[in-house]
Structure 1
Amino acid sequence: MFPETTVSVNKEAVAGKIKGNTVRVGILDTIDPWFFVWSFGDTMEHLRRQIPHKTIKSSELSYQQLEKAIENKSIDFFIAPSGFFAKVAEDSGARHLATFHRESALDPGKAVGSVFVKKKGDSRFQSLKDLKKAVLSISAPTSFEGWIIAAGELLKEGLEPESLLSKAIFTGYGLPDVATLVLNGSPDVGILKACELERLILEGTINRDDLEVIEEKNQNLLKCKVSSELYPDVVFASLPHAGSDLVRDFSVALFTMPKVGEGRWGFASDFGNVNSLYRSLKMGPYEYLKDSAPSALIYKYRFFFYGLAALIILGSAYIISVQRIVNSRTKALREALTKAHEAQEEARASQEKLYQLEKAGVVQELSAMFAHEAHQPIASLMNYAGGLRMYLKQEQKDPLVEEALTEISSQADRLSQIIMKVRSYAKREEKHFSKIDLSAVVSNVMRHVEKTKNSRVSFKKKNLSLSASSKSETYVFGDSLELELVLVNL
């Protein structure tokens, strides 16, 4: 015998645990009724058996209610046509878990479509292009197979689906249904889901020859007549807030589920044609394409603008970087040019200085050579004049000759002094100034000018006279020869 144990139960904690274990699944109420009859119930029962630790609850929701539930995160999973899934997937973050694979389709990704039917013998509508002015009968404007797929086919033929939709007759999934309305002649053409025509004939609701398919497509993927492209079947999808373990458990349960009704759960790998359909119709996630406002255009081409903005930013950064490099190198080039110019100026100054030095050297050499060579004949001239004067002393004196010889000696001596002065310049000898009687310098200059023939003739022709006066004892500090040369030239 085991001891008796008393267990106290916290009802609020149990209630909270149960609530936390609840998983909610929403299903669109406009899915094919036969899916509800043959597949939905069995699917939910299978999930509950496979995941017993969770309380799985399902709710049938209208199109708007399911959108709201996804937005409010009041459901964890949903079951809907692939068109609805493609419409909400981008904004909600919904992820595809499984796609229903009915027996009549070879591929769950190519399993549903639309059928355009007319009354047998109605010759007005041979192709979809003839539906431009037709009155259509459809189940609902939100039905993926009952209208959206068909609208895509009409658009391909150059028709305006919205114009046809504006005058269409909606059955609302009630009675009379689309086929019945077409047989009664109220609408011209009806739009049925793929395989619905075969089901109505099989049930005996209509006869095989009552309705005729408009532009039936040749295909071998679906064992039913169809007037459109084929798209993925019903999708079982998860929402982001569903835990990864829970998503894994649901995925395993769906793929291990045996066949029920018309098929089993499989996987569709490509929803690109669904997205292309909504884009062409400017519906669902591409609703903004209808709006021509600037905000809509920006949203439409947002990836282009993102790329353009990135290019502008990168381009600006590149331009700024290049500009900095250019400025840096330009500054360096300016500095180099300045230094080169300064070096060129220094070289030019050095060259000029060298040239002047060379010139001065040449002048110095020429001056020294001239002074040396001229000094010898002048000395000879002075010697001859002195010798002649000594000779004349022994003979009869001639005052005129005596004066001439004296002047020759004086001028020769003066010339010798000038040459020696030039030679001192060439040798760059240090100048030696002395105290000079300016009156004596002026008197020597006057005497020299008066004895010069050219000066006397020039003064006489111009009726000029030369005179000089000075105070006695006027002295300057300088070189008497240089002063004489200045006054003579003056």
Structure 2
Amino acid sequence: MLFALLLFFPPLFASAEPQALRLAVVEMTEPGFAATTVNPIRKALSSVFPSEDIVILRFNSATLESSVRELRPDFIISPAADFLRLVDAVGAHPIATRKTRWARDPHQSTGAAVIALSSRTDISTLSSLKGLKAAATLPTSLDGWLALRGEIEDAGMDSEHFFSKLRFFGYGMPHVVEAVLSGAYDAGVVPVCTLERIEAEGLIEQGVLRVAALKKEKEGAESLCRTSTTLYPDLIFAALPSADPETVRSATLALLGLGAGEYSWYPTSDFHAVRALEERLHIGPWAYLEEMTPSALWRRWRIWILGTAGLVLLLLLSELRLRELVRRRTADLQAALAERDRLAASEENIRSRLSRLERMGAVSQLCAIVAHELKQPVGAVINYLAVARLKTGISAASPLPAPGTDSQADPVLITAIDGADMQARRIARIVDRVRGYARAEKSRPVRLRISDVLRSALAGVKLSSSLPVEAHLPPQSPVILGDALEVELILHNLIKNAIEAVKDDPAGKVAVRVSGTDSEVSITVDDNGKPLTDEAFERLSRVSASGKSDGLGLGLGIVRNLVEENGGRLTLSRLPGRGLRAEVRFDIASDAEPGENTEKQSFPEDQKS
């Protein structure tokens, strides 16, 4: 009853007995396994850990990895093949290998022997077993069927279809032995030395059974028993990652100090032979290769493979025929078309460049003419506004009537006159600047507060658009060197372009942000307009056909020139999802740099315009 509780509810016992040492044992069909192997090891561990209980956990080979992960034993006793699975799965470390007294080398201690009735003289070599009925212990036994499978595959035969009938009985003695003695099966696959043991113990009569398909005709250096296969390492005593290093050290000394008996233990082992067998049989880490071997694929899909191959062959022949016909008729044509395309592309490039140059020249002449013609009427407008201001009794220096004066002027009229005067003077400055461009004159840079210039640009935008613009200004405005009007035109143009991109979208937004470092200031204008194609995005940075019905086609090329004239850098980038960001960066003006100060203008203090 206690054993059953330990087997099915080990976590409960582990929690109640925190000092218990857990020893896992993979279930074996070996007769007397507990008495010859498990109990001596348990006794040796008890001698070095007298204050701890030695709890035995019995694991099944089929669920070994999951059991180890769940119950976390300290040590495990398992066959070499199962141990290698734990090495790959959880990182188990070998401590010692069991060697039977019949073996000379612990690295070559176990394998398989094929037994048959001595009267069956037709069973002698490995090839003579083909097509017979055989009994074996377990399909996963390294000391049984797996070892024999390796020999069959090495001999160039198919182990899966070697026997006409193969049945697994679990125990070699008495099940497999009885199956052969009764004549129900022609041969049996048992662990090496099984026949020698049962004959020595008098369980069967000497000479009734014999070992067939002998690996060696007489005793070899590896084993004193007759074997039909290559020999491999026997059981492995291993430490698991959950074991304490000091516990592992003490357990190793106790295990290697066990006295010689039926079995003895030797430090570690060479597992290359086991790994090679697993790779040949496509088991363990190489199990995935089984479904990818040519023979397996051919057996499963040969009809589809043949049909597909035939169809591909027909298509290939048809394709080759068509290619030959097309090649003969298009060789010369391809060369002619390539030359024609090259000439057409070159001609189109030259035409495009000439068109842009002609447009720039025409625009330059037109700007000079317009600027010249606008100078006089703009001056007249300013004079007329001055007369209107005098008629209202308001001076230019004071926007409101002076105290003590009797003025009946309409405040709305005064505001209109002031606004018209301000815009007319702004037009005059722009006209002067255009005329300066025509004469190749350069303006002298002045010290500008970016916040003041941005507020002025936003005020100008308000006159033509009702869309609110989010403006984020720093508490202390950065100062740069530049032309006040040109910088204002730069910001005005960028904000207006952003508004144009979202004006038809009810959820359209435009945001302006001023930020920077000790060395430069950055002004970004973001919008959430429609996504731009690569061609449209590339067109923004050069003089090209305008995307607007009333545009001149100059676009951001002129803005970029103005930015560079004022020592700045303009960068355009597409925002994730949708929208565009225009960023202008200027160097911060130091106190030691020359430049005239601009007059401080009064602007609203709110952060959203």
Q: In which range does the TM-score fall when normalised by the shorter chain?
A: 0.5 to 0.7
Q: Partner of 1:331 in structure 2?
A: none
User: What displacement does 1:71 show?
Assistant: 3.4
Query: Secondary structure of the equivalent of 2:104?
Result: coil
- Partner of residue 324, structure 2: none
Find the counterpart in structure 2 of residue 228 from structure 1: 229
SS of residue paired to 1:145: coil
Distance 1:263 1:204 in 2: 21
In the superposition, the TM-score normalised over structure 1's length comes to 0.53
Corresponding letter in the other structure for 1:46: A
In the alignment, the residues of structure 1 paired with residue 103 and residue 82 of structure 2 have an alpha-carbon distance, to the nearest angstrom, of: 20
State the partner residue of 1:100: 98
| Equivalent position of 2:79 in the other structure | 81
Verify the 8 A CA contact 2:131 2:163 in the aligned structure 1.
no
Equivalent position of 1:248 in the other structure: 249
Q: Distance in 2 between matches of 1:213 and 1:104?
A: 16
1:26, 1:66 within 8 Å by CA — same for their partners in 2?
A: no
CA contact (8 A) 1:117 1:214 kept: yes
Which structure has the highest helix share of the two? 1
Return the letter of the residue paired with 1:196. Answer: T
Alpha-carbon distance change, 268 to 215 in structure 1, aligned in 2, over 3 angstroms: farther
Distance in 1 (CA, whole Å) between partners of 2:123 and 2:279 is: 28
Q: How does 1:8-19 map to 2 (within 5 A)?
A: 19=17
In structure 2, distance between residues paired with 1:254 and 1:289: 38
Aligned residue number for residue 280 of structure 1: 280
Cα offset, 1:89, TM superposition? 1.8
Match among 157, 166, 169 for residue 168 of structure 1: 166
- Aligned residue in 2 for 1:270: 270
SS in 1 for 2:206: coil
Change in Cα spacing, 1:289 to 1:267, as seen in structure 2 (3 Å) is same
Query: Which of 52, 65, 68 matches 2:66?
Result: 68
Deviation string 1:198-224 (CA, Å, 9 cap, x unpaired) is 011112222221112112223122111
1:381 paired residue number: none
Match of 1:52 among 17, 34, 50: 50
Query: What is the Cα deviation at residue 109 of structure 1?
Result: 1.0
Change (3 A) 1:167 1:92: farther
Q: Which residue of 2 aligns with 1:139?
A: 137
Provide the rounded CA distance (Å) in 1 between the counterparts of 2:41 and 2:283.
Answer: 31
Query: Does the 8 Å CA contact 1:69/1:75 hold for their aligned counterparts?
Result: no
Q: Is the 8 A contact 2:136 2:190 kept in 1?
A: yes
For the pair shown, the structure with the greater C-alpha radius of gyration is 1
In the TM superposition, what are the counterparts of 1:115-154 in structure 2 within 5 Å? 115-154=113-152
The answer (yes or no) to whether the contact 1:118–1:190 under 8 Å persists in 2 is yes
- Runs of 5+ consecutive residues of structure 1 not aligned to the other structure: 1-14, 298-490
Letter in 2 for 1:42: P
Give a deviation string over 1:372-398, Cα, whole Å, max 9, x none.
xxxxxxxxxxxxxxxxxxxxxxxxxxx
Letter in 1 for 2:74: D
- In 2, the alpha carbon distance for the partners of 1:155 and 1:168 equals 16
Tell me if structure 1 keeps the 8 A contact 2:144–2:190: yes
Amino acid at match of 1:240: P
Runs of 5+ consecutive residues of structure 2 not aligned to the other structure: 1-12, 298-609
Alignment of 1:418-437 (within 5 A): none
One of 178, 181, 195 as aligned partner of 2:179 = 181
Structure-2 separation of matches of 1:156 and 1:231: 16
Structure 1 residue 131 displacement after superposition: 2.1
Shift in Å at residue 92 of structure 1? 2.1
In structure 1, C-alpha distance between the alignment counterparts of 2:113 and 2:71, rounded to whole Å: 35
Measured after TM superposition, the shift of residue 98 of structure 1 is: 0.8
Query: What is the alpha-carbon distance in structure 2 between the residues aligned to residue 166 and residue 62 of structure 1?
Result: 29
- Post-superposition CA distance 1:42-66 (Å, at most 9, x none): 2101101111243221123322243
Q: d(CA) in 2 for partners of 1:240 and 1:272?
A: 23
Q: How does 1:203-218 map to 2 (within 5 A)?
A: 203-218=201-216
Matched letter for residue 43 of structure 2:
E
Q: What secondary structure sits across from 1:54 in the alignment?
A: coil
1:202 is aligned with what amino acid?
A: A
Shift of 1:166: 8.3
Identity percentage of aligned residues = 30
Distance 2:286 2:69 in 1: 18
1:192, distance to aligned residue in structure 2 (A) = 1.2
1:30 to 20, 28, 31: 28
How far has the Cα of 1:279 moved from its partner? Answer: 0.8
Aligned partners of 2:145 and 2:88: how far apart in 1?
Answer: 22
| Cα distance between partner residues in 1 of 2:43 and 2:139 | 32
- Cα 1:67/1:207, change in 2 over 3 Å: farther
Partners of 2:14 and 2:140 in 1: CA distance: 38
Q: What CA distance in whole angstroms lies between the structure 1 residues aligned with 2:70 and 2:80?
A: 21
SS at match of 1:168: strand
Task: Report the CA distance between 1:85 and its aligned residue.
Answer: 1.3
Runs of 4+ in 1 over 4 A off after TM superposition: 15-18
In the alignment, residue 254 of structure 1 is paired with which amino acid?
L
8 Å contact kept, 1:109–1:267: no
Aligned equivalents of 1:141, 1:72: Cα separation in 2: 26
- TM-score w.r.t. the length of structure 2 is 0.43
The whole-number CA distance in structure 1 between the counterparts of 2:276 and 2:125 is: 23
8 Å contact 1:115–1:226 — kept in the other structure?
yes
Q: CA deviation at 1:164?
A: 4.2
Amino acid at match of 1:105: A
**Higher RCO (CA-CA < 8 Å; seq separation 6+):** 1
The verdict on how the C-alpha distance between 1:25 and 1:143 changes in structure 2, with shifts beyond 3 A counting, is same
Task: Answer whether contact 2:26 2:59 (CA < 8 A) is retained.
Answer: yes
CA distance in 2, matches of 1:126, 1:202: 23
Structure 2 counterpart SS, 1:237: strand
Preserved CA contact (<8 Å) 2:129 2:163:
no
- What aligned pairs does 1:315-464 form with structure 2 within 5 A after superposition? none
Code of the residue aligned with 2:175 in structure 1: it is D
